[in-house]
Amino acid sequence: MSLTLYPASIPVFVRMLGNLSTILDKAAAHAEAKKIDPSIFINARLAPDMYPLSRQVQIATDTVKGCAARLAGIEVPRYEDNETTFPQLQARIAKTLTFIQSVTAEQIDGSEEREITLKFGSTELHFLGQPYLLNFVYPNFHFHLTTTYAILRHNGVALGKMDYVGTY
């Protein structure tokens, strides 16, 4: 049996967003236990020219909700990108999970050849569905998840590999 785009996308996104939620819970608990202002973590960056943690989470969720919608041929939901607390970031993850879980296999499977165009200012990127998922969405999603993990780990939150990959 061949692998179709739905099982290659939505279940992967759901799992990893769940792991991200757990990581953020650990960061919030660490901040509380150590009497650290949570905004220290929310605004932390790995390097001066990189986005802060809040933006990393926003982009990770944008990436998967955009993917689910584009593969399904439906409108991409828009979020305001105004989260400044752990509860607000958790709410964004929950909202994203609700959306992507509302997209069905029937909507996504068969979209391997669907034309997808992304616009970034004056730049346009053109993909077909399968290369969009495999060559654009996966690397971008995991980059922002990994960067979130790294920001928190770098700032002393006790995280390990299993927090990122989750349990099997």
| Domain boundaries along the sequence of the chain | 8-165
- What is the model's pLDDT at position 159? 97
Task: Look up residue 80 and give its two tokens.
Answer: 């305001």
> Which of 30, 63, 35, 32 is CA-nearest to residue 147?
63
Bridge partner list, 119: 124
How far is Cα 40 from Cα 159, in angstroms, rounded to an integer? 17
Note the pLDDT of residue 34.
Answer: 98
Nearest partner of 101 among 69, 144, 140, 57, judged by Cα: 69
Copy the structure tokens of residue 100: 């992507």
Q: Which CATH class is domain 8-165?
A: mainly alpha
d(CA 119, CA 13): 22
* H-only helix segments in the chain: 5-34, 38-42, 53-72, 86-102, 105-108, 129-131, 138-154, 161-165
pLDDT of 160: 96
Task: Return the pLDDT at 1.
Answer: 62
Mean pLDDT, 10 residues at a time, over the chain (168 residues)?
92 98 98 98 97 98 98 97 98 98 97 95 96 98 98 97 93
